[in-house]
Structure 1
Amino acid sequence: MLGILVQLIISWLILRFIAKTSMDVLGYRINTTRLLLCVGLLLFTTMAALLAYALRWWFGERWGMNPSFSLLLLANGIWWNIKSVLFEELIFRGALFYLLIQWLGAKKALWLSAAAFGVYHWFSYEILGQPIPMLVIFLLTATAGLVYGYAYLKTATLYAPIAMHFAWNFTNNFLFSGGQIGKGIFVLLPTDTVQVGYIAFVLVQYLPLVLFFVGNYFLLKRFGKVYVGKQHQAPQL
């Protein structure tokens, strides 16, 4: 929590003394329109993430309730994911992103922020020196960074990328115990080894991601208001 507070203070200083504006540009004031759009993005992203596990279930994998599950574990899981998402969003879609929009324009700022987001995950995933994993992770996380950044540009609020980011991370990391936090709500049960063809593997791995990226992009394009600083026009991805 202390780290988030420090980030908020630094964000205020950057916006106040460099950008000559206020924290309002990060869209912290909620209204009905923003709330409904963010809820829609959260629900759609959750469904996209769940698709991966529905496909894995179809091909023979099984999950069961974590025997150690408790309300305290749930609270800790929610809070851990909120903190990790806030940390990343304040860095990559916060005050610095706003400055880049003003200095470079929306399109360049968006691509630069997304690239930095991809590189950051080389370190968070500890895959430096592994060319193939580095390439795959960069492409996936940088694309996610494009969608998250576009969400800010189209809604003028950090709540939009936070909603998508949290939904994806919570579903994968905690709901189905795939993250660093350890066992969450559901755990993978022992089953016979599941063998699938190449097409099935690609569907399980990438169809949910494509749905997440493309679906959210069109939701934002359709329902988000245009906001990019100087240009007043959202870039086309």
Structure 2
Amino acid sequence: MLGLLIILVISWAVLRFIEKKNIDVLGVIPYPNRILQFFIGLVFMMFLCLLMVAAETYILNVKWKQKETIDYSLIFQSFIYHIRSALTEDLVFRGAILYVLIRRIGSKKAILLSALCFGVYHVFSYGMMSEGVIPIVYVILVTGFTGYVWAYAFYKTKSIMLGLGIHLGYNFLMTFFYESYPYGELVFVEMSKTSLQDWNWVIFNLSKGLLPSIFTLVFVNYLIKSKSILKSKSSQS
């Protein structure tokens, strides 16, 4: 919590002294429409993740076992943990710095730079520096594209709320099924699955890594065209 507070203070200072703007240009104040954006992103991504899990279950013939006892307090703790971590990352990569870059170098370059930094960041956060070139490129490609979509959502909606909901939805839902630190396999445990080889493995993992972001980009563009639910009280010029 202290780290999040420090990031908010730094964000305020960057915006105040560099752009002469209030921190609300990031869309962090929870006006009703921004709350709507957050929940739209959250519900959409949780539903999409369930579809992806179902597809993986079918393709790999995954056998799941539901836990005999579900710890709902642990699920709640996971939710709080992931909303804090998602908000922290969003403020760093899709917050004040991105806002300044959009104004100084243009939206296209700024969003691409934000995406690249997000991808490289995950190489370090996943502890992959000792891995080969191909796994590192894969992580940068997949997480970088994800960061691109979320940065694009920030630019178009002028708020971090839609991207935050999408971010939280993915991280939180996946803890129901897969191993993850510090929370994972909260509801189901994977017992067995079919192993893919060669190009089948490559195609499957690229699809698993990229398709959620592709579908999300299509969804965000649909929301942008609908306009009414994405109106914001702040503006980026």
If the length of structure 1 is used for normalisation, what is the TM-score?
A: 0.85
**Is contact 2:65–2:190 with CA below 8 Å preserved after alignment?**
yes
Q: 2:94 maps to which residue?
A: 93
Unpaired stretches in structure 1, ≥5 consecutive residues:
231-237
Unpaired stretches in structure 2, ≥5 consecutive residues:
none
Query: Separation in 1 of the partners of 2:73 and 2:108?
Result: 43
**Is contact 1:65–1:186 with CA below 8 Å preserved after alignment?**
yes
Query: Separation in 1 of the partners of 2:63 and 2:127?
Result: 29
**Is contact 1:34–1:155 with CA below 8 Å preserved after alignment?**
no
**Is contact 2:37–2:165 with CA below 8 Å preserved after alignment?**
no
2:44 is the alignment partner of 1:44: yes
Measured against aligned partners, the alpha-carbon deviations of 1:165-196 in whole angstroms (never above 9, x if no partner) come to: 11111122x111332114342232434x5244
CA shift for structure 1 position 221: 1.9
Question: Which residue identity is paired with 2:176?
Answer: L
Q: 1:11 maps to which residue?
A: 11
Query: Separation in 1 of the partners of 2:37 and 2:166?
Result: 11
CA shift for structure 1 position 204: 4.8
SS in structure 1 of the partner of residue 191 of structure 2: coil
Q: 1:200 to 1:43 in 2, by over 3 A?
A: farther
Measured against aligned partners, the alpha-carbon deviations of 1:5-25 in whole angstroms (never above 9, x if no partner) come to: 111111111111111100110
Q: 1:189 to 1:209 in 2, by over 3 A?
A: closer
2:70 is the alignment partner of 1:69: yes
Q: 1:211 to 1:122 in 2, by over 3 A?
A: closer
Q: 1:134 maps to which residue?
A: 136
Q: 1:233 maps to which residue?
A: none
Query: Separation in 2 of the partners of 1:180 and 1:81?
Result: 11
Aligned identity (percent) is 31
Q: 2:155 maps to which residue?
A: 153
Query: Separation in 2 of the partners of 1:29 and 1:157?
Result: 9
Query: Separation in 1 of the partners of 2:184 and 2:46?
Result: 19
Query: Separation in 1 of the partners of 2:137 and 2:235?
Result: 29
Query: Separation in 2 of the partners of 1:197 and 1:221?
Result: 35
Query: Separation in 1 of the partners of 2:97 and 2:195?
Result: 46
Q: CA RMSD in A?
A: 2.4
Query: Separation in 2 of the partners of 1:55 and 1:197?
Result: 18
Query: Separation in 2 of the partners of 1:166 and 1:139?
Result: 20
CA shift for structure 1 position 32: 4.5
CA shift for structure 1 position 199: 7.0
Q: How many residues align?
A: 228
**Is contact 2:41–2:164 with CA below 8 Å preserved after alignment?**
no
Of residues 37-46 and 5-14 in structure 1, the stretch that sits farther from structure 2 once superposed is 37-46
Query: Separation in 2 of the partners of 1:180 and 1:167?
Result: 16
**Is contact 1:114–1:143 with CA below 8 Å preserved after alignment?**
yes
Query: Separation in 2 of the partners of 1:9 and 1:147?
Result: 26
CA shift for structure 1 position 133: 1.2
CA shift for structure 1 position 96: 0.8
Query: Separation in 1 of the partners of 2:222 and 2:33?
Result: 13
Q: 2:213 maps to which residue?
A: 213
Q: 1:56 to 1:221 in 2, by over 3 A?
A: closer
CA shift for structure 1 position 95: 0.7
